[in-house]
Structure 1
Amino acid sequence: MEEIIKLTAENIDTEHICCAIADQKCQGGYQAKKKWIKDQLTEGFTFKKLDVRGKVFIEYIPAENAWCPVDAPGYMLINCFWVSGQFKGKGYGKRLYEECLKDSDGKNGIIVVVSAKKQSFMSDKKFFIKQGFVVCDTAEPYFELLYKPLRDDAPLPKFKDCAKKAECDNKEGLTVYYTNGCPFTEYYVAGLETVAEQKGYKLKTVKIASKEQAQNHFVPVTNYSIFKDGSFVTQHILNETYFDKFIKN
């Protein structure tokens, strides 16, 4: 049985972090994500992966330290959870989730941000429902907060008010917010600037660089979010192919 590896300050430089392993154009973002993880380790951030050459991993962190606008004291927040391609359907996701469950012993429970219907770059709601999670809060336009209480007296988690309406401060043109929590964002945000200019759109880019910024973001997803004239459009990473699909005149 394949081993589950936990990233630490001692092994992160030599272990891969699953996403963008061989994507040369995203190597700058790959290294930025490694640094981002290093910075989060002291905050209780956990990254565990299957010892394979692929995307089979889970990230979680105490909700108080998560880069997510939630009010969930004493909860563990699943930040990213991915089992891809040939590794699906083999029980690896359940094994990784059980690692999170084990590490959440003594906490009020576990939370995860999903969408009402399947959305790209978001965890699959169906998996968590099977594990006993239920919806405890919602935010526009389709975000849901799932929770699994681990104590009878666990308080109900919720999204912060700032993330409920899916509206940002900049009401003119396009605004993209991103973090280094995803290794693909640096490359594709740079590319988006070129595409937006070609399409005749004014684009403002905002890099979320701190926990405090992220915890006061305008939508529950902070790794990457696009707004048009102040209204949220998508968390799907855009390139020239997807631009016209999501950004409509």
Structure 2
Amino acid sequence: MEILKLTEKNIQDEHICCAISDKKCADGYQKKKDWLKTEFKNGYNFQKVDVRGKVFIEYVPIESSWLPLVGKNFMVINCFWVSGQFKGHGNGKKLLQQCIKDSKEKGMDGIVAISSDKKRPFMTDPKFLKYQGFEIVDEAPPFFKLWGIKTNPKAEFPKIMESAKSGTCPDKKGITAYYSNTCPFTDYYTNQVLREYAEKKNIPLTINHISSKADGQKMPIPWIINSVFYKGELVSLEMKVERHLDKLI
């Protein structure tokens, strides 16, 4: 199976793996494509195995990354997903090797990825990263880990910005959500499902749309896809957060 790189020219004719048949997320799916078209100009990469499924990796030079990281000349993995029948066949390693190859060709010093202390939804599996030679190079509450690998042994690893190490959000009233269009699911589950939940429970809701690099780098945690807080405390990074909120409320 070949690896296909999405570009401004072919993106309208190719699927972007997530939410392929989920009609509820059709708007979010198009918004993700529109976001990619803009970010391709900033060196963003979307590489996928040429199959109909979730088998892809996204990465970008740290200088153009929306994540609250400080450093230079490293590649940042944004989203990395191999699911279902495509697991266990070397597809993850194949995609990661493509990222490493691109990084070396661009003269970059290494690769970093935000993950966790254990496997969590929408995050790259830390066990896989460790097995592939990555190490933990920085941490942020409550469970975020910055994993890294060098191609230049003399290089200094990037770090998580101090402003993203609070582990809480400044808004302590009700529910606070942050989301970006880097994922096709976020728009529907934040602006419709979460909003309906808050109205049903009569809880104040504040939604913050991360729409620029500047917005992403102001995050109180090193994560820009989707996050939900309750009274300032991080509840979940998942889209379907009702059960998490019900345990606290």
Normalized against structure 2, the TM-score is what? 0.96
Q: Which residue of 2 aligns with 1:220?
A: 222
Q: Which residue of 1 aligns with 2:237?
A: 235
Secondary structure, aligned partner of 1:104: helix
Secondary structure, aligned partner of 2:13: coil
Asked if 1:3 corresponds to 2:5, the answer is no
Shift of 1:197: 1.6
Q: Is 212-221 or 177-186 further displaced after alignment? A: 212-221
2: CA distance, partners of 1:216 / 1:206:
11
2: CA distance, partners of 1:234 / 1:12:
31
> Which amino acid letter does the alignment assign opposite residue 119 of structure 1?
R
Q: Which residue of 2 aligns with 1:78?
A: 77
Q: Is 235-244 or 165-174 further displaced after alignment? A: 235-244
2: CA distance, partners of 1:35 / 1:111:
25
In the TM superposition, what are the counterparts of 1:8-23 in structure 2 within 5 Å? 8-23=7-22
2: CA distance, partners of 1:156 / 1:103:
18
> Which amino acid letter does the alignment assign opposite residue 195 of structure 1?
Y
> Which amino acid letter does the alignment assign opposite residue 75 of structure 2?
M
Percent of residue pairs bearing the same amino acid type = 47
Asked if 1:138 corresponds to 2:139, the answer is yes
Secondary structure, aligned partner of 1:122: coil
Shift of 1:72: 2.3
Q: Which whole-Å deviations, capped at 9, do the CAs of 1:17-69 have from their partners, x for residues lacking one?
A: 00000001110000000001111001100000011110000000001211100
Q: Which residue of 1 aligns with 2:179?
A: 178
Q: Which runs of 5+ in 1 are unaligned?
A: none
Shift of 1:241: 4.8
Secondary structure, aligned partner of 2:113: strand
Secondary structure, aligned partner of 1:96: helix
Question: Aligned pair in 2 of structure 1 residues 243, 167: CA closer, same or farther (>3 Å)?
Answer: closer
2: CA distance, partners of 1:243 / 1:22:
28
Shift of 1:169: 2.1
2: CA distance, partners of 1:72 / 1:235:
25
What is the RMSD computed on CA atoms of the aligned residues?
Answer: 1.1
2: CA distance, partners of 1:39 / 1:168:
28
Secondary structure, aligned partner of 1:227: strand
Q: Which whole-Å deviations, capped at 9, do the CAs of 1:175-230 have from their partners, x for residues lacking one?
A: 00000000001110121011112123111111011011102211111110111122
Secondary structure, aligned partner of 2:76: strand
Q: Which residue of 1 aligns with 2:153?
A: 152
User: Do the aligned residues in 1 keep the contact of 2:235 with 2:245 (CA within 8 Å)?
Assistant: no
> Which amino acid letter does the alignment assign opposite residue 229 of structure 1?
K
Asked if 1:66 corresponds to 2:68, the answer is no
Equivalent residues, number: 246
Normalized against structure 1, the TM-score is what? 0.96
Q: Which residue of 2 aligns with 1:33?
A: 32
Q: Which whole-Å deviations, capped at 9, do the CAs of 1:108-156 have from their partners, x for residues lacking one?
A: 1100001102211111001110111100100000000000011121112
In the TM superposition, what are the counterparts of 1:111-122 in structure 2 within 5 Å? 111-122=112-123
Asked if 1:57 corresponds to 2:56, the answer is yes
Secondary structure, aligned partner of 2:85: helix
Shift of 1:3: 1.4
1: CA distance, partners of 2:60 / 2:182:
13
Q: Which residue of 2 aligns with 1:103?
A: 102
